[in-house]
Structure 1
Amino acid sequence: MGESPENLWSHPQLVAAVTSEDWGAVFRTYRKLTGLSQMKLGERVGLVQPDVSDIERGRRRVTSVEVRQRIVAGINVPLDLQATAAQLAMDTAPVAGLALPGAAPDEDLLTRVTGVVNESHRVDAATLDWLDRLLAEHRRAEDRIGSRPLVDVMRQQLHTVVNLYAGARGRLTGRVVRLASEHAQFLAWMAQDQAQTASALAWYDRSHEWALEAGDANMAATTLSMKAHMAWSGGRGTRCVRLAEAARWSAPGTSLGVQGMAAQMAARGHALEGEADDARRLLDEAQALITRASERPEAEPVWMYFYDETWFTLQRGMAALHLRDWREAVDHLTVGLGALPDEYRRDKTWYRACLAHAFAGAGESTQAVSVAVASIPDASSLGRPHSWNELHTAAAVLMRRGAKEGRQLVTALREYD
């Protein structure tokens, strides 16, 4: 007889296999404890029996984010255990290579950057300036290529930053902690982007803790706003509002842009709950803040580079989408997408999927399918579950309305599933 669910995830051998992400050992141990055949386990995790066998025997490695997510969901890995696995992956990651094509530091600086980790040399300002610059470049790269290719690189880079702490002195100690907080926030965002909720929450909590230690009010507030965004993504409007309001009152002295981000997140939470008056009031407040922030861009933290009128127009479109004001949603999303630079490939894919949903809701089925079908290749190649799910939502709305284009969109999506 197999283990009961309450005992299964306390078994040390299974816990060790999951936290080390040894999926072959996970499968073997899970089947031993539950009595499942390879075929039955495959049905749970969306794999055929030969694939389960190959993974167990080490002939196939699990490298796909989608396959990993299916395994975790199929065997019901507890959230706290998923978070532990994410933390251990960071703790054991190797030191990153720090060369950046086309923007490498001079030879002396590169020696110092790589040497402080292995030889415990003192950290200097030039080293931290370079790491600040490298993080900024990675943020920009993620806009173009999505989060999947960068996750391992950023884990390694954070490991490097954490190791710098022992060699930091005086004011540089605070800079190292701040830099670690920014890296953890970026890792959290990428986990969130890939729908890895437990990992994202663990990274946001770590980032918030480090931000408080470094005295960085802007990052402390930003992590709360991003947790509000996670709640919004999960359809939890009330939690979204509460976290966004916490971002506003718990970190005084934040920049106007950071305040505006928190206000618009609260607005989106209210919109999700159908509370139109509160949503529109907070959107107006956020717009006033972003207008004032645009007058002094140098006062904003570097990670707020994307927060401008174009981005805010798109957020208004999202709020209108939740309030089922389809025409307003179409108008705002169309204007915002028209102004969004092509380099924001990830965001363009997401907002196009939302525009398809808005067109479907407005009963404009031809436009909905046209926008959706054009978005499918990028949604598939970038590996964004949120964009993919939104395209399926648009198809579902069309099907409910009895539009013949709904089946056309479903067929197009199945070609990439």
Structure 2
Amino acid sequence: MLLAAEHAHWLSWVAWQEQHHGPALAWIDLAHGWAVDGGHTDMASWAQRVRSYYSLDHGDPVRALRTAEAARVVGMLPLSPAAEAVAVHQAAMAAAACAERDLAQRWADEAHTLALQAADEGERPGWLYWLNPTRATLQRADAAYACRAWADAVAGFRAALPALAGCPRDHAYYAGRLEDAERRA
């Protein structure tokens, strides 16, 4: 069930990137259902987190916030620190979009702390392979950027950007965010 959920999530993500929103939502719903049926709490939370991202990307921050909050409490079993970190980060981004900046910054700090509890790749679910300390710092900086806390965003992007030298696409994206935050600071 977990493998099916992982594949459904991936198909959902590809469909969303190609602007096929209906199929993307159908696939993420299947991923969530299979994760729940299989008792995979972290994957069920991840599917909810992705759905929240879709809502935020589609311009519905209130729905994104409620969905991200639900991603933190998906089952009887507790989430792993990494899975909870990405759910909390998504809630922070949605809160920022709802102009709840204090809440967003508290959640960004919480997400960062949780992510650092799973600093080694073996401590994270397979699909969260990317959530290392550098990415956790970038997520925190992104939340600061969303909250218009420009100095905090600049500091976070500057601290983490050198570690992305081997990832040119990501480096370029965050370098652009850094430049924009520097202009606004």
In structure 1, distance between residues paired with 2:38 and 2:156:
38
Q: Aligned pair 1:340/2:167, yes or no?
A: no
Q: CA shift at 1:324, angstroms?
A: 1.8
Check conservation: 1:272, 1:319, Cα contact below 8 A: no
- Structure 1 pair 213/231, CA: closer, same or farther in 2 (3 Å)? same
Match of 1:254 in 2: 79
Q: CA shift at 1:357, angstroms?
A: 3.2
Match of 1:213 in 2: 37
Match of 1:293 in 2: 118
In structure 1, distance between residues paired with 2:24 and 2:15:
5
- Structure 1 pair 261/352, CA: closer, same or farther in 2 (3 Å)? same
In structure 2, distance between residues paired with 1:184 and 1:336:
31
Counterpart code for 1:254? L
Q: CA shift at 1:212, angstroms?
A: 1.6
Match of 1:178 in 2: 2
Match of 2:88 in 1: 263
Q: CA shift at 1:341, angstroms?
A: 4.7
Which is higher, the Rg of structure 1 or of structure 2? 1
Indicate the SS of the match to 1:318. Answer: helix
Q: CA shift at 1:290, angstroms?
A: 1.5
TM-score by length of 1: 0.41
Percent identity, aligned pairs only? 35
Check conservation: 1:208, 1:220, Cα contact below 8 A: yes
RCO higher in 1 or 2 (8 Å CA, sep ≥ 6)?
Answer: 2
- Structure 1 pair 308/328, CA: closer, same or farther in 2 (3 Å)? same
- Structure 1 pair 325/304, CA: closer, same or farther in 2 (3 Å)? same
Check conservation: 1:257, 1:290, Cα contact below 8 A: yes
Q: Structure 1 residue runs of 4+, over 6 Å off?
A: none
**C-alpha RMSD of the superposition:** 2.0
The unaligned stretches of length 5 or more in structure 2 are: none
- Structure 1 pair 345/207, CA: closer, same or farther in 2 (3 Å)? farther
The unaligned stretches of length 5 or more in structure 1 are: 1-176, 363-417
Counterpart code for 1:215? G
Counterpart code for 2:114? L
Counterpart code for 1:361? R
Check conservation: 1:235, 1:272, Cα contact below 8 A: no
Counterpart code for 1:322? A
> Paired residue for 1:273, among 86, 98, 109?
98
Give the total of aligned pairs.
184
- Structure 1 pair 262/350, CA: closer, same or farther in 2 (3 Å)? same
Counterpart code for 1:253? P
- Structure 1 pair 194/338, CA: closer, same or farther in 2 (3 Å)? farther
- Structure 1 pair 197/282, CA: closer, same or farther in 2 (3 Å)? same
Residues 87-143 of structure 1: CA distance to partner in whole angstroms, max 9, x if unpaired? xxxxxxxxxxxxxxxxxxxxxxxxxxxxxxxxxxxxxxxxxxxxxxxxxxxxxxxxx
Check conservation: 2:112, 2:137, Cα contact below 8 A: no
In structure 2, distance between residues paired with 1:318 and 1:195:
23
Q: CA shift at 1:278, angstroms?
A: 0.5
Q: 268-277 or 333-342, which moves further after superposition? A: 333-342
TM-score by length of 2: 0.87
Match of 1:396 in 2: none
Check conservation: 2:116, 2:136, Cα contact below 8 A: no
Q: Aligned pair 1:319/2:143, yes or no?
A: yes
Q: Aligned pair 1:354/2:155, yes or no?
A: no
Residues 2-56 of structure 1: CA distance to partner in whole angstroms, max 9, x if unpaired? xxxxxxxxxxxxxxxxxxxxxxxxxxxxxxxxxxxxxxxxxxxxxxxxxxxxxxx
- Structure 1 pair 320/309, CA: closer, same or farther in 2 (3 Å)? same
